[in-house]
Chain A
Amino acid sequence: MLANIVIQFMNGLAGASSLFLVAAGLSIIFGVSRIVNFAHGSLYMLGIYLAYTFVEFFGRGSILGFWGAVLFGALSVGVIGAVIEIAVLRRIYRAPELFQLLATFALVLIIKDVALYIWGAEDLLGPRAPGLRGAVEILGKRFPQYDLVLIVIGPVVLGLLWLLLNRTRWGTLVRAATQDREMVGALGVNQAWLFTSVFFLGAFLAGLGGAVQLPREPAQLMLDVTTISDAFVIVVVGGMGSIGGAFVAALLIAQIKAFCIGIGDVTVFGIVFSFSKLTLVVEFIVMAIVLVVRPWGLLGKPQGSQRGASTVEPLMLPLNKGFWAITVGLLLALTALPLVGDDFLLVLFIDIAIFAVFAAALHFLMGPAGMVSFGHAAYFGLGCYGAALLFLKLKWPMELALIGSPIVAGIGALVFGWFCVRLSGVYLAMLTLAFAQIAWSVVFQWDAFTGGSNGLIGIWPSAWAKDKTIFYLLAMAICAGCVILLWRVVHAPFGYVLRAGRDSPLRVDAIGIDLRRFQWYGFALAGAVTGLAGGLYTFSKGSISPETLAIPRSVDGLVMVLLGGVQTLTGPVVGAALFTWLQDEIARNTEYWRAILGFTVLAIVLAFPAGVAGFAKIAWTRMRARPEAGGQAA
């Protein structure tokens, strides 16, 4: 028993090292640049792949070759990080935060396809470390030698980082820039190089975290998303920007995971508790608890926004007559679409309608309500499963199941939202991600009820709506209804309170409005509307799987909203249409649709930092205001 506990503990320590390396890199990059780098998991993934390639090159057998490969792999990833900073991120430091996020999402897509192109879709398992292939005996149990090395690497890197940050000029500059990068520049420090070097270091750490895993886990294309969510969790639990916090959090989470695996199934009063199933979510549960109890993380400090970071306010103008004319015209044209389009086109437009609702609801949350959700697919998925289960288990007809889907999702959003509205900014976003992950894992593992990883099949529309044209019109009507509803809400007193709360929460509280309650209802409304989109999706496809609420789905939603621009209410609709169409169009023609999408998104971000619809709106306003146009300060 004791031996088991010790071995589990050692396993935990070994697992913590890589997690810590990745999270430390993410944390340093965030501290200085205030960019939440979604591509950090992709850098980790590249670390494993590159180490694999270097090992093949140097020879699998030699000790020097192995460690050389680990080091070269990590260094190459560092260089890639620096190149990314110079080529992309440097251009958008002054852009709104959400745009920076979008750019790093685009990088995730691009890196995934680059990896697919170079290394293929097969898992690649590296060799075991030469000279460390055996095991040592601890209390009569065998423990891999290589894992002992891993256990040492974490604290060693922590120590080196501490020295670097506290005992060198570079470290002093980094810590100063974390607090006020503009002032650092005004004191004569070349921020560009400081930032590039920070990205190099952060990427190097991610790459190293990946490379040292080479003998333990196969290189594969899913590592980017799983790693980034792990790294986020650790950074948030430890406290944003705190390296020591990241270390403690990595240890804590790795230990809990190791013990969940170690405990396995436990039967209490005849009920089986499966701890091993918990491993998929346990870190998110820990994060949710930490965020609620100590919102700034274990070792973090409550921090305001960094000086010199950009704060661009989304503008929200009332819509004018010309706009309405265009909208009505467009709606009429869309209604007439079945006259000219074939079924493929109708299916595409049904998808667009569904995702337009999803994106509009997410936009409502992110824009007017000022709450960024990284886990909005949870409510989409709850709507999907709500409708499917009502249809299959309770035998409700499509019409009732469709009404049920927003209710199910709305209840979910009420529960999750109650916790989320207690936080703000990145922390809120992380908590939404945590809840989405928890919801996903329940759906994914509850075979008896949700069909587990296979999902549910055979959910078809009622007889009258089986025809594609009818279903298309139904989808369009629901889409229009939802967008109008959200638009009305934004321009109702309820919406004013939310917007005022986003801009100056203290002032809203000061005039005696319970802002949190408004935000809570806003969260639930967005969830319910998204759930309706989910219900519609279920009946349009006839089957659903846990993918409907997985992270990539949330990411798609974010990309749609950001693509269209957060400034306008038409943005998400335009973004959803563009995204869905691009995905459909490109995926049909090439295996590498992600990269093409990623490059498109990057091009858009670099060219129109206000989103497509936002850009059109600004251009429109400019054109009309030309006579009085004056100079602009940066």
Chain B
Amino acid sequence: MLKISGLNSFYGRAHILFDLALEANKGEVVVLLGRNGAGKSTTMKSIIGLVQPSAGSIEFEGKSIERQSPYRIARAGLGYVPEERRIFTDLTVMENLEVGRQPSRDGAPTWTPERLFDLFPNLGRMKDRPGGRMSGGEQQMLTIARTLMGNPRLILLDEPSEGLAPVIVEQMANTIRELKREGLAVLLSEQNLHFSEMVADRAYIVEKGRIRYSGSMADLMRDTEVRAAFLQV
């Protein structure tokens, strides 16, 4: 459902992504692994249109989206959860969800605040709290819930486990598996191999803006050599 090939992106004059190619299929959880600064977030931003790729094609459900503005890409059914969370701190939890709300969409689960509060019970207990007065973990739940309000078919999750306590990471893994069960495709970026192993079907490894490995998550877990070369610090 998402097919990227020959993707090149720049920040100003700095060339960050080099001929990147990857795919994510319906109902699949795909993880993009890589060290700090490898280009994971840049890939995510290029897909959603926050960074304009200089070359390459990005196809989502058969339509090319690489020249479109972020709001059109989002309306095509792509949800983006930024690494920095970017909660609207002046808005309450309910208002944050309202900003993300979009009409329901064929072939994608339809979310309401009530359903999301089932998925993230913490949020249900602080509906009227301003986003600025929530813990990091709560904000992480909120940013995902907010994106789900757009009823996406595929969701881009940029390092969801970053900065979370081990218990919360466990919960996050459950959430992702739940989303998969609902029929969502997930493209995840991660540094946490353990977390990836819990949720991902397939994995790509990026290094210095290039894909260096692709294969099933199970294969990657067996391949100590690749892991030593690209993932261990």
Which A residues form the contact surface with B (CB < 8 A)? Answer: 169, 172-173, 175-176, 178-180, 182-191, 307, 630-634
Give chain A residues whose Cβ lies under 8 Å from the Cβ of B80.
Answer: 186-187
Which B residues form the contact surface with A (CB < 8 A)? Answer: 8-13, 15, 48-55, 69-71, 74-75, 80, 82, 86, 88-91, 95-96, 98-102, 146-147, 150
Q: 30 A-B Cβ contacts within 8 A? A: A169-B98, A172-B91, A172-B95, A172-B98, A175-B88, A175-B91, A176-B91, A176-B95, A179-B89, A179-B91, A180-B88, A183-B86, A184-B99, A185-B70, A185-B71, A186-B71, A187-B80, A187-B146, A187-B147, A187-B150, A188-B71, A188-B74, A188-B100, A188-B102, A189-B71, A630-B10, A633-B10, A633-B12, A633-B51, A634-B52
Q: Which residue of A169, A172, A631 is within 8 Å of B8 (Cβ)? A: A631
Give chain A residues whose Cβ lies under 8 Å from the Cβ of B50.
Answer: 182, 186
Given A172-B99, A182-B70, residue A633 in contact with residue B11 (CB < 8 A): yes
| Cα distance A634–B10 in the bound complex, in angstroms | 8
Chain B nearest CB, measured from A297 CB (Å): 16
Asked whether, in the complex, the Cβ of B150 is within 8 Å of the Cβ of A631, the reply is: no
Chain A nearest CB, measured from B159 CB (Å): 16
Total number of residue pairs linking A and B with CB closer than 8 Å: 82
Asked whether, in the complex, the Cβ of B10 is within 8 Å of the Cβ of A186, the reply is: no
12 extra A-B contacts, CB within 8 A, seeds A633-B9, A634-B51? A172-B91, A176-B91, A178-B90, A182-B50, A186-B49, A188-B74, A188-B102, A189-B71, A630-B15, A632-B13, A633-B10, A633-B53
Give chain A residues whose Cβ lies under 8 Å from the Cβ of B150.
Answer: 187-188
Given A186-B74, A188-B71, residue A630 in contact with residue B86 (CB < 8 A): no
Task: Give the interface SS of chain A, mostly helix, strand, loop or mixed.
Answer: helix
Query: Which of A179, A185, A633 is packed against the most chain B CB atoms within 10 Å?
Result: A633
Chain B nearest CB, measured from A634 CB (Å): 4
Q: Which residue of B75, B90, B91 is within 8 Å of A188 (Cβ)? A: B75
Give chain A residues whose Cβ lies under 8 Å from the Cβ of B74.
Answer: 185-188
Give chain B residues whose Cβ lies under 8 Å from the Cβ of A169.
Answer: 98, 101
| Cα distance A184–B91 in the bound complex, in angstroms | 13
Give chain B residues whose Cβ lies under 8 Å from the Cβ of A189.
Answer: 71, 99
Asked whether, in the complex, the Cβ of A632 is within 8 Å of the Cβ of B71, the reply is: no
| Cα distance A186–B49 in the bound complex, in angstroms | 8
| Cα distance A91–B82 in the bound complex, in angstroms | 26
Give chain B residues whose Cβ lies under 8 Å from the Cβ of A191.
Answer: 71
Give chain A residues whose Cβ lies under 8 Å from the Cβ of B8.
Answer: 631
Given A185-B71, A188-B71, A307-B86, residue A631 in contact with residue B91 (CB < 8 A): no
Q: Which residue of A178, A183, A188, A633 is within 8 Å of B82 (Cβ)? A: A183
* Nearest residue, chain B, Cβ from A632: B10
* Nearest residue, chain B, Cβ from A173: B99
| Cα distance A186–B53 in the bound complex, in angstroms | 16
Asked whether, in the complex, the Cβ of B69 is within 8 Å of the Cβ of A632, the reply is: no
Q: Ordered nearest first, which 8 A-B pairs have the shortest CB separation?
A: A631-B54, A188-B74, A634-B52, A633-B10, A186-B70, A185-B70, A183-B86, A176-B99
Asked whether, in the complex, the Cβ of B69 is within 8 Å of the Cβ of A185, the reply is: yes
Give chain B residues whose Cβ lies under 8 Å from the Cβ of A307.
Answer: 86
| Cα distance A183–B8 in the bound complex, in angstroms | 23
Chain A nearest CB, measured from B97 CB (Å): 10
Chain B nearest CB, measured from A178 CB (Å): 8
| Cα distance A632–B150 in the bound complex, in angstroms | 31
* Nearest residue, chain A, Cβ from B17: A633
Asked whether, in the complex, the Cβ of A633 is within 8 Å of the Cβ of B54, the reply is: yes
| Cα distance A176–B10 in the bound complex, in angstroms | 28
Query: Which of A187, A188, A632 is packed against the most chain B CB atoms within 10 Å?
Result: A188
Chain A nearest CB, measured from B23 CB (Å): 22
| Cα distance A103–B86 in the bound complex, in angstroms | 30
Give chain A residues whose Cβ lies under 8 Å from the Cβ of B69.
Answer: 185
| Cα distance A153–B9 in the bound complex, in angstroms | 53
Give chain B residues whose Cβ lies under 8 Å from the Cβ of A180.
Answer: 86, 88
